[in-house]
Amino acid sequence: MRSKLEWRAARVLVIETPAEDVRAVTFAVEDLRSSFDPGSHTNIKVMINGEPAIRTYTVLPSEPGTLKIAVKLHPNSRGGSAFVWTLKPGDETEMTEPENRFELSWRASHYLLVAGGIGITPIYGMAKALATRGQSVRLIYGARSIEQMAFASELRDLLGDRIETFSQEDGQAFDLAGEFAALPPDGEAYLCGPHGLLETARNLWRESGRPMSRLRFEVFGDSGRFAEESFQVHVPRREKIVAVRADQTMLDALVEAGIDMIYDCRRGECGLCAVNIIEASAPLDHRDVFFSTEERREKAKMCACVSRAVGGTITIDTGYREDSHSATLRAPT
Ligand code: FES
């Protein structure tokens, strides 16, 4: 259950390749609101193995009446990025009005932006907005190689010596603890990158003693530990056994099977889709950033939108009750 999405007809206008494995697609979108804030995302209808599905991507700054997304072709893709890579000018789909759950606060005296790989997509819009308004900002941007850094030259033009890039291939790495220590007391950090980077950042930020409300992040991708495998979910309360394909999330499979679920972000951040694990015959691949390491170790809950079992069957109960549409909400810590 989530707020109703406002779908709009969208047609591919332009395809660009801002990095060797990244495709940027600009869509002309009907009846689009005129502007959206940096950090906003859109949903797009895609086809995966002949089946309709929905994927969520950050929107990049673009002309009025258009939405632009940048998508990395990922080897572990469940099909969303592969679909976007097949698009050509003139192709049609539907997209939603952008929404924002990764907003700039506009209250800090200095902003540290950190991007890992394709995590540059929300950070790019933030850097542009902050620089345009004359705010104090620094961007650190890491990727596997220089060739895989989308929008790096535009960002260098925009930020000058306020951007630093790091290429893993060249043995470069950034010092996140040092970056956090250099922030003024009311400084804020905004990060987007893979799971491991976000986990490290959350731990370092907590150790620095800074308020967690001044660290904001968005995560993408898998945990890097397991490839996608199909598995089964047994829901005794509904007397159902649901098969989850390798190219499908557990949340999508449960919803398709007619099981009511509460969810929102679909990115492992809000915790709304968490299910109770009764029994698991296979290892669990936790890919959320909602639960702490200790909570994951307890193996009592998992986020159905991103986390998976590595084969086998898991037996679960869902948080949804017909007599109550409410859920226990907790902010990420
Ligand atoms: S829907 Fe937000 S964590 Fe799954």
| CA distance linking residue 60 with residue 83, whole number of Å | 19
Q: Give me the sheet containing 313-317, strands edge to edge.
A: 240-244, 231-235, 313-317, 274-280, 301-303
Nearest to 59 by CA among 8, 131, 112: 8
Residue 276's identity, in one-letter code, is: N
pLDDT tens sequence across 123-148: 999 999 999 999 999 999 999 999 99
Which atom, in ligand 1's list, is nearest to the CA of 271?
3
Stretch 51-74: mean pLDDT? 90
3-class secondary-structure state, position 111: strand
Distance 264 CA to ligand 1 centre (A): 5
* pLDDT attached to residue 50: 80
Q: Which fold is adopted by the domain 7-100? A: Elongation Factor Tu (Ef-tu); domain 3 (2.40.30)
User: CATH top-level class for 111-220?
Assistant: alpha beta
CB neighbours of residue 221 within 10 Å? 21
Distance 222 CA to ligand 1 centre (A): 14
Distance 223 CA to ligand 1 centre (A): 15
The better pLDDT of the pair 74, 88 is held by: 88
Nearest to 192 by CA among 289, 266, 69, 95: 289
Spans of all domains in the chain: 7-100, 111-220, 231-317
pLDDT at 331 over 50: no
Which residues of 168-239 form beta strands (DSSP E)?
Answer: 188-194, 215-220, 231-235
Query: 95 near 120, Cβ under 8 Å?
Result: no
Q: Which fold is adopted by the domain 231-317? A: Ubiquitin-like (UB roll) (3.10.20)
Query: 27 near 10, Cβ under 8 Å?
Result: yes
Q: How many CA atoms lie within 13 A of 167 on its CB side?
A: 9
The better pLDDT of the pair 273, 75 is held by: 273
Residue with the nearest Cα to atom 3 of ligand 1? 268
Is residue 108 lining ligand 1, measured as CB closer than 6 Å?
Answer: no
